[in-house]
Structure 1
Amino acid sequence: MWLKLSEEIEKYVRPDTFPLGIRVLDKGESVPDKTKRPAKDFGVRISICQGITMSRRYGWTLAMGGEDLSCPIAKVAFGFEENLPFYSEGNLACGMYAENMEAAKKTEEDVPKFLDDESGIILVGPLSRISFEPETVLVYGNSAQVMRMVAAALYKRGGSITSSFSARADCADIIIRTKQTNEPQVILPCYGDRVFGQTHDHEMAFTLPFNRSQEFIDGLSGTQKGGVRYPIPTFLQYQAKFPPSYEKLNQMWNHS
């Protein structure tokens, strides 16, 4: 199913980078063969957004556990390290994202977080290449492509999609919030995703719970038939207006 989903996304959305499949391994689940581990294979620890960019631009499948990660916010959110008071009080956000400790504390409280039994090694790889069943599908694109996917996700159910934006920790929005809510999300790439993941200024992202794949596929084809398409078609059947001197020449011809 994930290969079919990848083909449909490529057909109807045309993203510049690979659509991805993401899975958080349960305790005891093995990391698939030929999966890259940043600490072991690259000799460095990385942020989750770096791993996502490697996967969507290079086509690699990566596994990231606590020993692979450098970002302290991700370590706390994904349950790889203890949520110490220094973090929860707002010290990381204060002065950069928040004016004072009170606002910073609220900012940290709002970052989605795994419970202990939800935490696990994070697998990410291109949908067209992975050997594991994903839990979450992630696609980066421009705002029109994201709009196109929102329309597809709502085709069967109607209504609207509710997402949250905070300018930081988008890895938690992508993986944790989508898994915990089992709802699609529009993702605003955070500052770290742009600095470390090198996400481009024009890019946004969209996540879909994999268990809604068939509904999404039906939505892509259904909205295509209804006229919601990418690239966005523009209305061209109109008569242009020209400068007065141009129109005067047209009038001369019309009266000759």
Structure 2
Amino acid sequence: METTDAPIDGISLTDALMRLLRLKTTPVALQMFERVEDMQAVPRIRRPDGTIHTADQIVGQAARLGFTVGITADDLVGPQCSTVLGLAPRSEEWLRGEPMAGVWFATQEDSAAHQRAMHCVPHGRYRAMAVSPWNSGRLPTPDIVLVYANPAQMILLINGLQWSGYRKLEWGAVGESACADSWGRALATGEPSLALPCFPERRYGGVADDELLLALKPVDLAKAIAGVERLAANGLRYPIPPYGTQMDVRAGMSRSYGGRKV
């Protein structure tokens, strides 16, 4: 997908994010390509080379192994993954979602309703996708960045995003195929998109039990990191130390909400 933002230094911002939130998983840059040749020209790009994967596995190779990987629809198992990325159409067969009926959903109607609810990149423009650790510099202008974090880390990152220009952030959950809630929604709408990673993301993509996923444009992530820096200067840092359920709360509250710098 095209981006109008100037290149953002993913190397220094990854360093800041790891320092501030102590993430255990490296943020991942994701970029869509109109031409397969442009994807193949990415430095040190890996290709599945005849093997078939889920999109979760491809993202997992970047997040967990540090690989830079590029794919087309032919590299993905079935249309479920490729349709979310806009590499395949929302066909009538796909919209029926018949393979999920009786497995993930009670009826055919439930399965079809789930398919209709998913955020997908519009089909017809893009032919390929690539992912890479954000700090590799191999995708200097990604469409979105994927951040895996535990709930405590994630709320501070969201707090950072809301530090200035505040607005309430609201998300949904399609359940199975939750990649539609994260990278699907972020690519389709341009909005920061938080998701509860689904069963396949954890089974095939290596997502840990305690990880949530936030997908957002690089400019929004840079803004969030700057906000987390300001929160840290106010003493609102990760890890968040437990105060104690029976302690007199006034001393702690004066530090967290009284404007005192620590």
Give the TM-score range, shorter chain. 0.7 to 0.9
After the TM superposition, which residues 126-205 of structure 1 pair with which residues of structure 2 at under 5 Å, given as runs?
126-132=133-139, 133-205=141-213
Q: Does 1:60 align with 2:67?
A: yes
2:46 pairs with one of 36, 50, 63: 36
After the TM superposition, which residues 74-85 of structure 1 pair with which residues of structure 2 at under 5 Å, given as runs?
74-85=81-92
Q: Aligned with 2:142: secondary structure?
A: coil
Q: Work out the CA distance in 1 between the residues paired with 2:134 and 2:15.
A: 9
Per the TM alignment, residue 21 of structure 1 is displaced from its structure 2 partner at its CA by: 0.9
Moved more, 48-57 or 231-240: 231-240
Question: Relative to 1, partners in 2 of residues 1:12 and 1:183: Cα closer, same or farther, differing over 3 Å?
Answer: same
Structure 1 residue aligned with 2:96: 89
Aligned residues: 237
Q: Aligned with 1:96: secondary structure?
A: coil
Moved over 4 A (4+): 236-240
Which structure has the larger Rg?
1
Structure 1-normalised TM-score? Answer: 0.84
Aligned AA (2:164): K
The answer on whether the counterparts of 1:90 and 1:102 sit within 8 Å (CA) in structure 2 is no
The answer on whether the counterparts of 1:21 and 1:130 sit within 8 Å (CA) in structure 2 is no
Structure 2 residue aligned with 1:70: 77
Identical-pair percentage: 22
Moved more, 76-85 or 151-160: 76-85
The answer on whether the counterparts of 2:59 and 2:131 sit within 8 Å (CA) in structure 1 is yes
Q: Does 1:227 align with 2:235?
A: yes
**Gapped runs of 5+ residues in structure 2?**
1-8, 249-262
**Gapped runs of 5+ residues in structure 1?**
241-256
Q: Aligned with 1:186: secondary structure?
A: strand
Aligned AA (2:61): M
Per the TM alignment, residue 126 of structure 1 is displaced from its structure 2 partner at its CA by: 0.7
Structure 2 residue aligned with 1:120: 127
The answer on whether the counterparts of 1:93 and 1:108 sit within 8 Å (CA) in structure 2 is no
Q: Aligned with 1:140: secondary structure?
A: strand
Q: Work out the CA distance in 2 between the residues paired with 1:6 and 1:154.
A: 19
Structure 1 residue aligned with 2:218: 210
